[in-house]
Chain A
Amino acid sequence: MQLSKTFYALAAVAALASPALAADNMQGITATTIKIGNLGPFSGDAAVFNPLNFGPEAYLRYINDKGGIHGRKFETVFADSACNEAKGIAAAKKLIYEDKVFMIMGNPCSGVAMAIKPMLEQEGIPWMGPAANPKLTRPTSPAMFHTTYTGIESGEAMAGFALSNPAIKKIAIVEHSNDWAHGYCNPASDFIKKNGGEVLTRIAMERGSTDGTTQALQVKTLGAQAVLGCLYQPELIILLRDLQKFGVAATVVGALGADFDQTVQQVNSPAAVRDKFFQPYQFKAKIGTPALKEFEDMFVKYLKKDELPKAGPPTNFYYFGVPVGIVTVEGFRRAGPSPSREKWIAAIESIKDFDTGVLADTVTFSKDKHVGVSRMYAVGLDKDGKQTVYTAWGKPLPE
């Protein structure tokens, strides 16, 4: 016992004295490169979310093209998590212990992010990603940051937008039975109850549903004035179509698991979406407008063909991913010419009112606030079918 204590003390002293620890803090950093791990679902049924990995990657390539940060260029190592915990841990361990990356970026899958969290904390590896589970950064974990909206911000934005219409009080929730959907709709439900609304019911609609009759008729029978749909795109489309089919006039607010433009286009019925379907909106302006043009150009220029959509312009998932890259790079810019993990973390925590150029809110971190953004807008089609960004019900964002 005594002996082992002495041994540990000696080992600790040795570790402090040796350059190994310093090197560890600068793992992934050489004189000319910074190695970043990009973890995401490149296979499996969540692969549809991998644009969230390519958005930040495009920004890193853009920065490299401009000469990098303090003379260093970013080098990305991709790793497939398949959105499966066992595989995700293997992927993260490979990034950390074999590829020796500085940090992990990307990682849209909450389950994998939660599973690797203990390891990240043990090794002090920085993490910045779009995974929506608020538990990743609340309570604050020393090296983990959300520069995108978690389920709490998005869920409250969904509920908040619905309630900003004074005529809406009775709300029904339709959701998948998975962690992603509950991550949005649990906070949304709490928000409604706290702010004078009424949650009539929480209805399940599972992945792979081919029909939303039951759900639509329940919404209709209960007389809901609004529906919050924590659904992925295919099921959201089915719900919108079937609500329309049964003449349900309720406002529908979707979650961020669907692409707004594609959803509207694929519902293929103006009456089902005009002045009726809304989504929380993460961006400062409409996609496709000049304010966000530089990002569209960036995606098209720096991403390879198989990293972009088969047809059409980059979808909103690319834009939603890009702030992760922007804020990561800003951390390195502020960390100075000889970055270390401590310096990068301190640099991120020093960010105040930082405009990413794409998000609706400015980014502000502090020592005990690792979620950088909160304000969201809403997007929808107005009565004439024109896509509009709203700050609240009936209040379009000035263009």
Chain B
Amino acid sequence: MLAVLPQLIVSGIATGMLYALIALSVTVGYRATTVVNFGHGDLVMAGAYATFVFVGSGLPFAPALILALASLFLFGVLTQRVFMQPIINGPHLSLAMMALAIGYAVRGGARLEWGSEVVILGRPYDQGAFMVGSVVLTMDDLVISGFVVALLLTLAIVFHITPIGRLIQAVFQSQRGAALVGLNVHAFHGMMWGAGAALGAAGGVLLGLLVPLSPDLGVYTLIRGFAAMTLGGFGSPFGAVVGGIVLGMMEKLLGFYVSTVFIDITAYLVTILVLLIRPSGLFGQRATVRI
């Protein structure tokens, strides 16, 4: 039984990277606007289908991917400016519901087009596997992990070295203050919401390498993303990644050594336990009300 432990951990990390990316993309939007996008899962799905459409129109994979991410970025900016910004001071429920409703409409659109069939994105590389000791590593694992690590490094640079990081922090802490010192907070919100959408779309594409596309693609993953954010600490990009990886490993270990029926609820159990025992998660601020 213990012989497969290294494999479970490695596969757990690979799966966790995907959750991490979703969590990271929600975090980017949240850091900028202090609003959690509950419709984010549908943007993840839209990213995968957008790439599918561009590839289907004859483009090679890389330009198709870039076009898809750009489209989702634009979509994110637009929805933030047109739908979220006007109600940004309204009840939180309206914000949550608005994001959900936009996502629901997007999902409905995807269902209309692809609802009655299963399509796949197809990998732009060979589906190889390598043995490292007794552990099997696939190209998928490497591509996904590589992408997420590269992204995390980029974000770390952006957040901590460039002025954008300070900007984000300023707006996160006090929007009025940021506006007072001459920041265009609205435009900033839109851009960051778009960036979150584009990152989510990237997550969708990576997901699409592994599984066939369906309009419900993002819904299942988003819950894992939320759990990863909670575990790592809300609002912390680093925490989101660590949370994702830990969640991925926990699913594998709990599933293998206890029972596979727990895989599906690992994310829920983690969320509840973390918020009851250590609401700030591993690396986050306190999870209490902003008044």
Contact = CB atoms under 8 A, between A and B. Distances in A.
B11 A208 contact: no
Interface stretch (B185-193, B253-261, B282-290): B253-261
Interface in B1-58: 1, 4, 7-8, 11-12, 14-15, 18
Interface in B73-91: none
Interface in A1-57: 43-45, 47-51
Given A208-B219, A211-B11, A268-B122, 18 more contacts: A48-B116, A48-B214, A50-B115, A51-B116, A204-B259, A209-B220, A211-B14, A213-B12, A213-B15, A213-B252, A214-B251, A214-B255, A217-B7, A233-B212, A246-B7, A269-B127, A309-B117, A310-B119
Nearest to B19: A210
Contacts, number: 105
Interface string B142-174: 000000000000000000000000000000000
Q: Interface residue tally of chain B, by bracket? A: 35 or more
Interface of B: 1, 4, 7-8, 11-12, 14-15, 18, 108, 111, 113-120, 122, 127, 129, 136, 138, 207, 210-212, 214-216, 219-221, 251-252, 255-256, 259-261, 263-264
A87 interface: no
Contact of A206 (B12, B219, B264): B264
A238 B263 CA distance: 15
A201 to B, nearest CB: 9
A315 B117 contact: yes
A237 interface: yes
B210 A204 contact: no
B221 A210 contact: yes
Contacts of B256: 214, 217-218
B8 A210 contact: no
Contacts of A296: none
Nearest to B129: A245
Interface residues of A, number: 40
A217 B4 contact: yes
Contacts of A218: 256, 260
A45 B108 CA distance: 10
Contacts of B252: 213-214
Contacts of B11: 211, 213
Nearest to A206: B264
The 7 A-B pairs with the shortest beta carbon distances in the complex, nearest first, are A208-B220, A47-B115, A214-B255, A213-B11, A206-B264, A204-B260, A234-B212
Contacts of A259: 118
Contacts of B211: 209-210, 234, 237-238
Interface string A268-298: 1100000000000000000000000000000
A204 B264 contact: yes
Nearest to A46: B115
A177 interface: yes
B170 to A, nearest CB: 37
Contact of A213 (B8, B114, B120, B264): B8
B15 A266 contact: no
Contacts of B127: 268-269
A210 B214 contact: no
B263 A204 contact: yes
A302 to B, nearest CB: 17
Interface in A313-344: 315
Q: Which of B1, B12, B15, B117 has the most CB of A within 10 A?
A: B117
A45 B216 contact: yes
B129 to A, nearest CB: 6
Interface in A215-244: 215, 217-218, 220-221, 233-234, 237-238
B118 A310 contact: no
A206 B136 contact: no
B78 to A, nearest CB: 26
Contacts of A350: none
A94 interface: no
B99 to A, nearest CB: 20
Q: Which of B111, B211, B220 has the most CB of A within 10 A?
A: B211
B9 to A, nearest CB: 10
Contact of A211 (B117, B119, B210, B264): B210
B212 A237 contact: yes
B220 A207 contact: yes
A44 to B, nearest CB: 8
A220 B136 CA distance: 14
Interface string A189-207: 0000000000000011111
Contacts of A204: 259-261, 263-264
A268 B252 CA distance: 25
Interface string A239-267: 00000011100000000000100100010
A234 B221 contact: no
A203 B256 CA distance: 10
19 contacts: A44-B111, A48-B116, A48-B214, A177-B261, A206-B264, A208-B216, A208-B221, A209-B263, A210-B15, A211-B15, A213-B7, A213-B8, A214-B252, A214-B260, A218-B256, A221-B1, A246-B136, A247-B136, A268-B127
A91 to B, nearest CB: 17
Contact of A245 (B122, B136, B216, B259): B136
A43 B111 contact: yes
B58 to A, nearest CB: 14
B106 to A, nearest CB: 15
A91 B252 CA distance: 42
A37 to B, nearest CB: 20
Contacts of B1: 221
